[in-house]
Chains A and B, each alone.
Chain A
Amino acid sequence: MGRYVLRRLVQLVPVFLGTTFLIYLLVWAIPGDPFAGKCGDRPCPDAYITRMRAEFHLDDNVVVQYARYLGNLVQGDFGQTFNGTSVGALIAAAYPVTVRLALVALLIEAVIGLAAGVLTGLRSGGYLDNLVLVSTLFLIAIPVFVTGYVLQTVLGLRLGLISPTVSPAAGFGELIVPGFVLGSLSMAYVARLTRTSIAENRRTDYVRTAVAKGLTPRRVVGVHLLRNSAIPVVTFLGVDLGSLMGGAIVTEGIFNIRGVGGLIFRSIQTKEGATVTGVVVLLVVVYLLMNLLVDVLYAVLDPRIRYD
């Protein structure tokens, strides 16, 4: 396993170089004039443009530019925005918020989704089963922005149970409702995946053996059945965490959360190339690492899987 992880990490290097170069190319070489609209209604003065192009080395060959960027990146320097703010500082402010929101969403998905899936998987066809099937269908069908605005209006504005927007501190408590909104679709998938998995494994021979050993029903289900049925669910949650860590433009927008999704959205609008590149590069790395984590997790959960 250790060697496998090492090999995968080494493989990440060319993938990292390739994707970041592509991003760099897309952000800096293609979008025409980065200074259009930077100076209010009038076009920017030539002197300003010349100075900025020199400062950001925009007239160098793009490969040279990329190599320089990479060199700085390796030293932890994400560069600066056009008005001199450190991109690293922007990320450092936004990313923890995104991570907290992702964790809250993941927790909600896992707890509610697993519980609903286990209960319905054990008794398919019952009242609860139908209730869960219909409500998950509902969640899958409704777009996130609808769930978001409805909950914000009802819980925040009408009932006053929550603040309609999240404060800049974005504590865990404030993120529960946004986390629910963000995780609702995956929660529905988790419930259905768990239900199918439990229903399939319920009749397996090893469950029968566990019963024949005289174990309590609670232990048969909670240890033997659940441990096997959770394998695909945990894998799904791992992949989902990877995408949650990429920020949530819609949910962040609705609740005014200062996460990485909003940051990237705003910097694309204002053509802040350094910020876009920095954030996307970070997200690529996180995504690649999460994928590796999922593969490792899979082998840990299912000892029959061997990578070496």
Chain B
Amino acid sequence: MTIPPPLDAPLLEVAGLHVEFRTRDGVAKVLNGVDYRVEAGETLAVLGESGSGKSVTANTIMGILESPPGVVTAGSVRYRGEELLTATPERRRDLRGENMAMIFQDALSALNPVFTVGFQIAEQLRTRRGMSRRDAGRRAVELLDQVGIPAARQRVRDHPHQFSGGMRQRVMIAMSLALDPDVLIADEPTTALDVTVQAQIMDLLAELKAERHMGLILITHDLGVVAEVADRIAVMYAGRIVEHADVHTLYSNPCHPYTHALLESIPRVDTKGTQLRAITGLPPNLTRIPPGCPFHPRCPMAVDVCREVVPALALLPGGRSSACLFADELVTR
């Protein structure tokens, strides 16, 4: 007999998640206590430089972490209150697709090159829902239609390489929605696309999230992309969330020097034409994370105490939080 989850449990919650990669080159501490959650009908953007652990977190949630070399050493992932990290492989497989689904950055490599897109969408309906080939095929057309693919009835028979980049990502989205999941993780879904197409895909995701009342986790390293679609933003650095706030608050008043630097690095309309300013310094080597605040080697505000004390993600007034020892001083009211 299982203990019924509390009624107010979040849709999906990650807490204190630690993941290491044990390779010949040593142990890389890739996640060092990730905390975030998403509720039905809202969009959480996860933002951070490349290598900060966004994808590893998402893969761990989905249960598709490459293991070995990846090992979860601590923490929890709960879906509607149910702990997933200790669940059986069968249970986790049941949840994939049906309750949580994921779309990836490069749809060309993420879709199987030798099968038609119709086959790849209908496959889940046939194997998981026991639908007939014909019904599943019809449903695949509907799904392609819903994600805005013109002439869906003909295009189900095409292979992934016959689509443009944007259309291919739409196919990927249609496939992820086949079993009506209530959590959708989009791992940099627009990074490989042109700017105009990026906006269209973002709009589509926002629309589908609202229509289906899903929880959307939108992973990106591009602050500009998320401003319009995200409700809340979690900023990630060296395998931890260093700042968390609603979009408006975060943009107008970043409370962590890293977020501040990220915001400075996006080109704005008024400074158009000037070069994109990269954040100074390099992300830490995850096999040797500096003691104290992991950001201190790059932080313009760093003082001696930052080299010794590891700042916790602390709650600030207004429901936001930051992992900087001096966050209080950065909040403007």
Residues of chain A having any CB pair with chain B under 8 Å: 203-206, 208-216, 219, 224, 227-228, 231, 301-304
Bitwise, B49-65 to A at CB < 8 A (1) or not (0) is: 00000000000001010
Q: Are B112 and A304 in contact (CB under 8 A)?
A: no
Selected from B101, B104, B114, B127, the residue in CB contact (under 8 A) with A301 is B114
Q: Are A304 and B98 in contact (CB under 8 A)?
A: no
Residues A214 and B128 in contact in the complex (CB < 8 Å), given A205-B106, A208-B64, A209-B104 = yes
Count of inter-chain pairs, beta carbons less than 8 A: 67
Q: Does B109 contact A (CB under 8 A)?
A: yes
- Nearest-CB distance from A70 to chain B (Å)? 43
Residues A214 and B98 in contact in the complex (CB < 8 Å), given A209-B104, A303-B159, A304-B159 = yes
Given contacts A206-B110, A211-B96, A303-B114, 5 further A-B pairs with CB under 8 A are A209-B111, A215-B123, A219-B127, A302-B114, A304-B113
Residues A208 and B161 in contact in the complex (CB < 8 Å), given A213-B96, A213-B97, A215-B123 = no
**Which residues of B88-143 have CB atoms within 8 Å of chain A's CB atoms?**
93-98, 101-102, 104, 106, 109-115, 123-124, 127-128
Q: Does B147 contact A (CB under 8 A)?
A: no
Q: Are B113 and A303 in contact (CB under 8 A)?
A: yes
7 smallest beta-carbon distances between A and B, as pairs: A214-B96, A214-B97, A205-B109, A206-B112, A205-B110, A303-B159, A209-B110
Q: Are B124 and A215 in contact (CB under 8 A)?
A: yes
- Nearest-CB distance from B56 to chain A (Å)? 13
Q: Does B44 contact A (CB under 8 A)?
A: no
Q: Are B159 and A224 in contact (CB under 8 A)?
A: no
Q: How far is the CA of A205 from the CA of B62 in the complex (A)?
A: 15
Q: Does B175 contact A (CB under 8 A)?
A: yes
Residues of chain B having any CB pair with chain A under 8 Å: 62, 64, 66, 93-98, 101-102, 104, 106, 109-115, 123-124, 127-128, 159, 161, 175, 179
Q: How far is the CA of A205 from the CA of B128 in the complex (A)?
A: 21
Residues A205 and B104 in contact in the complex (CB < 8 Å), given A215-B124, A227-B115, A304-B159 = yes
Q: Are A212 and B112 in contact (CB under 8 A)?
A: no
Q: Are B161 and A209 in contact (CB under 8 A)?
A: no
Q: Are A224 and B112 in contact (CB under 8 A)?
A: yes
- Nearest-CB distance from B42 to chain A (Å)? 22
- Nearest-CB distance from A306 to chain B (Å)? 10
Residues A215 and B112 in contact in the complex (CB < 8 Å), given A205-B106, A304-B159, A304-B161 = no
Closest residue of chain B to A303 (Cβ to Cβ) is B159
7 A-B pairs whose Cβ atoms sit less than 8 Å apart in the complex? A212-B96, A213-B101, A213-B123, A214-B98, A216-B127, A228-B112, A304-B161
Q: How far is the CA of A305 from the CA of B124 in the complex (A)?
A: 27
Q: How far is the CA of A212 from the CA of B179 in the complex (A)?
A: 12
- Nearest-CB distance from B76 to chain A (Å)? 21
In this complex, which of A203, A206, A216, A301 has the most chain B Cβ atoms within 10 angstroms of its Cβ? A206
Closest residue of chain A to B185 (Cβ to Cβ) is A212
- Nearest-CB distance from A226 to chain B (Å)? 11
Q: How far is the CA of A204 from the CA of B123 in the complex (A)?
A: 19
Q: How far is the CA of A246 from the CA of B104 in the complex (A)?
A: 49
Q: Are A211 and B64 in contact (CB under 8 A)?
A: yes
Question: What are the residues of chain A within 8 A of B159 when measuring CB–CB?
Answer: 303-304
Q: Are B127 and A208 in contact (CB under 8 A)?
A: no
Residues A208 and B112 in contact in the complex (CB < 8 Å), given A214-B98, A216-B93 = no
Question: What are the residues of chain B within 8 A of A211 when measuring CB–CB?
Answer: 64, 96
Question: What are the residues of chain B within 8 A of A304 when measuring CB–CB?
Answer: 113, 159, 161
Q: Are A228 and B124 in contact (CB under 8 A)?
A: no
Residues A228 and B114 in contact in the complex (CB < 8 Å), given A212-B101, A213-B124, A219-B127 = yes
Q: How far is the CA of A203 from the CA of B110 in the complex (A)?
A: 11
Q: Are B111 and A214 in contact (CB under 8 A)?
A: no
- Nearest-CB distance from B266 to chain A (Å)? 28
Closest residue of chain B to A211 (Cβ to Cβ) is B64
Question: What are the residues of chain A within 8 A of B98 when measuring CB–CB?
Answer: 214
- Nearest-CB distance from B51 to chain A (Å)? 18
Q: Are A212 and B97 in contact (CB under 8 A)?
A: yes
In this complex, which of A203, A204, A213, A304 has the most chain B Cβ atoms within 10 angstroms of its Cβ? A213
Closest residue of chain A to B124 (Cβ to Cβ) is A213
Q: Are A206 and B111 in contact (CB under 8 A)?
A: yes
Q: How far is the CA of A227 from the CA of B112 in the complex (A)?
A: 10
Question: What are the residues of chain B within 8 A of A301 when measuring CB–CB?
Answer: 114
Selected from B101, B106, B109, B127, the residue in CB contact (under 8 A) with A215 is B127
Question: What are the residues of chain A within 8 A of B179 when measuring CB–CB?
Answer: 214
Q: How far is the CA of A226 from the CA of B81 in the complex (A)?
A: 37
Q: How far is the CA of A231 from the CA of B112 in the complex (A)?
A: 13
Question: What are the residues of chain A within 8 A of B124 when measuring CB–CB?
Answer: 213-215
- Nearest-CB distance from B20 to chain A (Å)? 19
- Nearest-CB distance from A91 to chain B (Å)? 39
Q: How far is the CA of A231 from the CA of B114 in the complex (A)?
A: 10
Question: What are the residues of chain A within 8 A of B128 when measuring CB–CB?
Answer: 214
- Nearest-CB distance from A43 to chain B (Å)? 66
Selected from A203, A209, A214, A216, the residue in CB contact (under 8 A) with B112 is A209
- Nearest-CB distance from B98 to chain A (Å)? 6
Q: How far is the CA of A119 from the CA of B100 in the complex (A)?
A: 31
Closest residue of chain A to B66 (Cβ to Cβ) is A203
Residues A206 and B93 in contact in the complex (CB < 8 Å), given A213-B123, A228-B114, A301-B114 = no
Q: Are A212 and B114 in contact (CB under 8 A)?
A: no
Question: What are the residues of chain A within 8 A of B161 when measuring CB–CB?
Answer: 303-304
Selected from B66, B102, B113, B115, the residue in CB contact (under 8 A) with A212 is B102
In this complex, which of A209, A215, A224, A304 has the most chain B Cβ atoms within 10 angstroms of its Cβ? A209
